[in-house]
Amino acid sequence: MAITLAQALNTALHDAMADDDRVVVFGEDVGTLGGVFRITDKLQQRFGEGRCFDTPLAESGIVGTAIGMALYGYKPVVEMQFDGFTYPAYEQIVSHLAKMRNRSRGTVQLPVVVRIPFGGGIGAVEHHSESPENYFAHTAGLKVVAPGTPADAYSLLRESIASPDPVIFFEPKRRYWLKEEADLPVRTEPIGRAVVRRQGTTATLYAYGPMVRTCLEAAQAAEAEGWDLEVVDLRSLNPLDTDTIVASAQKTGHALVVHEAQVFAGFGAEVAATVTERAFYSLEAPVLRVGGFDIPYPPAKLEEFFLPDVDRILDAVERSLAFS
């Protein structure tokens, strides 16, 4: 049946809590309200206030509490209400959550999932649209995933909750209402595996999270130009599926990375470096990056000029092909 990405996430939480009573969900307004995007809808009614509860507006305290609960055997799933609210918890995440297993020589595990709605495209106010994925992908000890489809949203969240390691789970908020045919429960490729969403021969578009759908739309529009674009959904930023990335670049000879985050020092740089190091002699052009401009996310009325769209992607493809 057709299901939205938001419904897939909600179902994954229900199923995980039903399967394991150590799974607890907490954050700002996740209980009675069901979250601002209703991802935690009806969890409190079904499982009670002891397993799904609201917290004070203190993100550092939310993650710190999750660390303590994980040390006592629980599997916390916490929500950062918006991406821009994550920064007060940054110290807890990078200094403690990410390092505890290494610090304890593997004797202490912290199975914590930090859910973060991220990206723009919803006309939000300041601090409600950010792309902080690179901060966490750079941090050793964290898994970082960003589903772009409802099926992946369900499967990757279930796998993240089951993981013995902490996972930063980025949810593309502009795609919460994206629908696809999916029979839940479903299991897709595991964390650490990329997927070729569309086969092509002219050039490769690499994307994750909200930009997967945009790249598929660009690939469809490119047919009018006689271009056959391949679209690779990274899905997992850390660990990164370098084999799939390299194989696609070797196949097409042209590689472009697309993300909402600013281009400078963005995750696209890691993909570009990987392709250059491992597929250099297959490339017919430099690896190009398409992303947000090097400014903070702009006010809602200016978002359309900031976020990559089909036209900007196709312009970059044209530039890449011009090198051949």
| Structure-token pair, residue 136 | 């966490």
Token pair 């850390």: residue:
238
**CA pair distance 164, 318, nearest whole angstrom:** 44
Q: Choose the catalytic residue: 14, 128, 138, 254.
A: 128
127 is known as an active-site residue:
no
Strand 2-4 with 179-181, pairing: antiparallel
Q: In whole angstroms, how far apart are CA 251 and each of 20, 254, 284, 304?
A: 43, 9, 11, 33
> Side chain identity at 302, as an amino acid letter?
L
Is the backbone peptide bond immediately before 76 cis, with ω within 30 degrees of 0?
A: no
Q: What residues are labeled active site?
A: 128
